[in-house]
Chain A
Amino acid sequence: MLASIGVFALVRSAPGDPIDIEFGPMVSVSGLSAADVAALRAERERQLGLDRPLAEQYGRWLARMVRGDLGVSYRNRQPVRDELVRHLPASVALGAAGVGVATVLATGLAVAASRRPGGWVDHTVRVASILGASVPSFLTGLLALSLLARSQGGYQIAGGATLGRLWLPALVLGVAAAPTPLRVLRSSLLAERGRLYAVAAVARGAGPSRLLLRHTGRVAVAPLLALAGMSMAGLVTGSIMTEAVFSWPGLGRLAVDAIGAQDYPVVQGYVLVVVVAVVVANALAGALQRRLDPTVDASALAVA
Chain B
Amino acid sequence: MTPPSPALLAEGLTVAYGRTPVLEHVDLAVAGGEVVAVLGESGSGKSTLLRAFLGLVPAPGAVEARHLEIRGPAGAVDLLALGGRGWRAVRGALVGAVFQDSALALTPLRRVGSLLVEAAGQPLTLDEQAERLGACGFADPGPVLAARCWELSGGMAQRVGMALATARAPAVLVADEPTTALDGLARAEVVARLRAVAANGAALVVTTHDVATAAALADRVVVLDRGRVVESGPAREVLGSPAHARTRRLVSHAPWSLGLPPPRPVDTSGTPALAVAGLAKRFDRPVLRGVDLTVAAGEVVGVAGVSGAGKSTLVRCLVGLEQPEEGDIVAGGVDPRRQGWKALRRRVQLVPQDPRASLNPWRTAAQAVADPLRYHRAGAAGARRERAEELLEAVGLAGLGSRYPTELSTGQCQRAAIARALAVGPALVVADEPVSALDTHTQAEIVALLRQVVTDSGTAAVVVSHDLHVLERLCDRIAVLDDGRIVSDQPARSLRSQPAHSLTAALAGCYPTDPLDTLRSFA
Q: Which residues of A contact B (CB under 8 A)?
A: 195-207, 210, 214-215, 218-219, 292-295
Q: Which A residues touch B104, using CB under 8 A?
A: 195-197
Q: By the criterion CB–CB under 8 Å, are A196 and B105 in contact?
A: yes
Q: By the criterion CB–CB under 8 Å, are A219 and B91 in contact?
A: no
Q: By the criterion CB–CB under 8 Å, are A215 and B110 in contact?
A: yes
What is the bound-complex CA distance between A195 and B101, given in angstroms?
A: 12
Surface stretch bound by A, among B92-100, B305-313, B443-451? B92-100
Q: By the criterion CB–CB under 8 Å, are B97 and A214 in contact?
A: no
Q: Which B residues touch A292, using CB under 8 A?
A: 109
Q: By the criterion CB–CB under 8 Å, are A214 and B110 in contact?
A: yes
Q: By the criterion CB–CB under 8 Å, are A203 and B56 in contact?
A: yes
Q: By the criterion CB–CB under 8 Å, are A204 and B92 in contact?
A: yes
Which chain A residue shows the least CB distance to B94? Answer: A205
Q: Within the complex, which residue of B91, B96, B106, B119 is in contact with A197, where a contact is CB–CB below 8 Å? A: B106
Q: By the criterion CB–CB under 8 Å, are B88 and A200 in contact?
A: no
Q: By the criterion CB–CB under 8 Å, are A219 and B119 in contact?
A: no
Asked if B89 CB lies within 8 Å of chain A CBs, one says yes
Contact code string B75-118 (vs A, CB < 8 Å = 1, else 0): 00000000011001111110011010100111111100000001
Q: Within the complex, which residue of A196, A203, A294 is in contact with B91, where a contact is CB–CB below 8 Å? A: A203
Report B283 CB to chain A, min CB distance, Å. Answer: 16
What is the bound-complex CA distance between A200 and B202, given in angstroms?
A: 19
A-B contact count (CB 8 A): 71
Q: By the criterion CB–CB under 8 Å, are B107 and A219 in contact?
A: yes
Size band of the interface chain B makes with A: 20 to 34
Report A170 CB to chain B, min CB distance, Å. Answer: 33
Asked if B404 CB lies within 8 Å of chain A CBs, one says no
What is the bound-complex CA distance between A230 and B293, given in angstroms?
A: 52
Q: By the criterion CB–CB under 8 Å, are A205 and B91 in contact?
A: yes
Q: Given that A199-B56, A200-B97, A200-B99 are known contacts, is A205 also in contact with B108, CB under 8 Å in the complex?
A: no
Q: By the criterion CB–CB under 8 Å, are A205 and B110 in contact?
A: no
What is the bound-complex CA distance between A204 and B107, given in angstroms?
A: 12
Q: Which A residues touch B108, using CB under 8 A?
A: 197, 219, 295
Report B491 CB to chain A, min CB distance, Å. Answer: 42
What is the bound-complex CA distance between A207 and B92, given in angstroms?
A: 12
Q: Within the complex, which residue of B84, B91, B109 is in contact with A204, where a contact is CB–CB below 8 Å? A: B91
Q: By the criterion CB–CB under 8 Å, are B118 and A214 in contact?
A: yes
Q: By the criterion CB–CB under 8 Å, are A218 and B109 in contact?
A: yes
Q: Which residues of B contact A (CB under 8 A)?
A: 54, 56, 84-85, 88-93, 96-97, 99, 101, 104-110, 118-119, 121, 148-150, 161, 164-165, 167
Q: Which A residues touch B109, using CB under 8 A?
A: 218-219, 292-293, 295
What are 21 A-B contacts with C-beta separation under 8 Å?
A: A195-B104, A196-B104, A197-B104, A198-B107, A199-B99, A200-B106, A200-B161, A201-B107, A202-B91, A203-B92, A204-B96, A204-B165, A205-B88, A206-B88, A206-B118, A207-B84, A214-B118, A215-B107, A215-B110, A218-B110, A294-B150
What is the bound-complex CA distance between A210 and B117, given in angstroms?
A: 14
Which chain A residue shows the least CB distance to B165? Answer: A204
What is the bound-complex CA distance between A294 and B89, given in angstroms?
A: 34
What is the bound-complex CA distance between A218 and B107, given in angstroms?
A: 9
The 6 A-B pairs of least Cβ separation, nearest first, read A205-B92, A200-B105, A203-B97, A196-B104, A204-B92, A205-B91
Q: By the criterion CB–CB under 8 Å, are A203 and B118 in contact?
A: no
Q: Which B residues touch A197, using CB under 8 A?
A: 104-108, 149
Report A290 CB to chain B, min CB distance, Å. Answer: 13
What is the bound-complex CA distance between A204 and B117, given in angstroms?
A: 11
Which chain B residue shows the least CB distance to A215? Answer: B107
Q: Which A residues touch B149, using CB under 8 A?
A: 197
Q: Given that A203-B92, A204-B92, A218-B109 are known contacts, is A196 also in contact with B118, CB under 8 Å in the complex?
A: no
Which chain A residue shows the least CB distance to B109? Answer: A218
Q: Which B residues touch A295, using CB under 8 A?
A: 108-109, 150
Which chain A residue shows the least CB distance to B164? Answer: A204
Report B5 CB to chain A, min CB distance, Å. Answer: 24
Q: By the criterion CB–CB under 8 Å, are A207 and B107 in contact?
A: no
Q: Within the complex, which residue of A199, A204, A207, A218 is in contact with B119, where a contact is CB–CB below 8 Å? A: A204
Q: Which B residues touch A201, using CB under 8 A?
A: 107
Q: Within the complex, which residue of B54, B92, B101 is in contact with A196, where a contact is CB–CB below 8 Å? A: B101
What is the bound-complex CA distance between A215 and B108, given in angstroms?
A: 9
Q: Give the one of A200, A203, A292 with max B CB within 10 A.
A: A203
Given A197-B107, A206-B118, A214-B118, 9 further pairs, Cβ under 8 A: A201-B107, A203-B56, A203-B91, A204-B92, A204-B167, A207-B85, A214-B107, A215-B107, A218-B109
Q: Which A residues touch B107, using CB under 8 A?
A: 197-198, 201, 214-215, 218-219
What is the bound-complex CA distance between A44 and B149, given in angstroms?
A: 66
Which chain B residue shows the least CB distance to A293? Answer: B109
Which chain B residue shows the least CB distance to A211? Answer: B107
Q: Give the one of A195, A204, A293 with max B CB within 10 A.
A: A204
What is the bound-complex CA distance between A196 and B56, given in angstroms?
A: 12
Which chain A residue shows the least CB distance to B148? Answer: A294
What is the bound-complex CA distance between A219 and B109, given in angstroms?
A: 7
Q: Which B residues touch A198, using CB under 8 A?
A: 107
Q: By the criterion CB–CB under 8 Å, are B110 and A196 in contact?
A: no
Which chain B residue shows the least CB distance to A205? Answer: B92
Q: Which A residues touch B92, using CB under 8 A?
A: 203-205
Which chain A residue shows the least CB distance to B161? Answer: A200
Report A245 CB to chain B, min CB distance, Å. Answer: 42
